[in-house]
């Protein structure tokens, strides 16, 4: 069975030595299994949300491939940056963390799947900080990276990190894979 485009790209990103893998390379694998007891969990709760995410991400990937055929480097950069921000929004802001927390709560604690899910839902996770930075517009695009800033004025704390585009892409694609793997596994069980 041929792997989806996003799993192939994750494999490619994780095989490189030039990016921070956030230890996700220890837990992610191509056949994540997010099967849950359907009595405990209702897949219909996420059907529309995950479907919208899947359609958006597929459209972004087709656009990325199409623009390579006819555009100059400046246009390709601009389109890729637009896709990166759209993907961040679709995978981090749109679903919020509630869906992933519900999934995580139902997974076995020591499983790789739980560890991947935990990376995205921990109270101080980088994805939470990036989501807050996006929501508040406190980020700066540099040449091949984005600096994210998340300020918590109640606790007088500030989080500031810079990630290159490949690192951000890895986070987005593993999060997307997590949602799609969960959805596909449980959709098949409900038939």
38, part of any domain: no
pLDDT tens, residue by residue, 33-54: 655 554 455 556 677 777 888 8
164, part of any domain: yes
58, part of any domain: yes
pLDDT tens, residue by residue, 68-81: 887 888 888 888 89
**Number of structural domains, the chain?**
1
pLDDT tens, residue by residue, 83-123: 999 999 988 888 766 777 877 887 778 888 888 888 888 88
Residue span of the structural domain in which 91 resides: 45-190
> Could you tell me what percentage of the chain is helix, strand and coil, using 3-state DSSP and rounding each to the nearest 5?
60, 10, 30
16, part of any domain: no
138, part of any domain: yes
1, part of any domain: no
Over the range 87-103, which residues count as b (16 or more CB within 10 Å of their CB) and which as e? Answer: bbebbbeebebebbebb
37, part of any domain: no
Task: Locate all alpha helices (DSSP H) within 71-162, ordered by sequence.
Answer: 73-88, 98-106, 112-121, 126-136
27, part of any domain: no
């Amino acid at each position: 069975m041929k792997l989806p485009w996003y799993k192939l790209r994750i494999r490619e990103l994780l095989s490189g030595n030039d990016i921070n893998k956030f230890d996700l390379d220890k837990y992610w694998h191509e056949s994540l299994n997010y099967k849950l007891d359907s009595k405990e969990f209702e897949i219909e709760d996420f059907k529309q949300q995950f479907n919208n995410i899947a359609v958006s991400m597929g459209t972004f990937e087709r656009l990325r491939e199409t623009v390579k055929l006819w555009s100059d480097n400046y246009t390709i950069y601009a389109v890729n940056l637009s896709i990166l921000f759209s993907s961040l929004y679709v995978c981090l802001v749109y679903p919020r963390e509630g869906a992933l927390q519900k999934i995580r709560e139902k997974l076995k604690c020591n499983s790789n799947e739980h560890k991947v899910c935990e990376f995205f839902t921990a109270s101080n996770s980088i994805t939470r900080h990036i989501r807050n930075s996006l929501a508040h517009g406190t980020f700066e695009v540099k040449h091949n990276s984005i600096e994210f800033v998340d300020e918590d004025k109640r606790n007088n704390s500030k989080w500031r990190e810079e990630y290159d585009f490949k690192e951000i892409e890895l986070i987005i694609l593993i999060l997307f894979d997590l949602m799609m793997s969960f959805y596909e596994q449980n959709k098949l069980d409900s038939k």
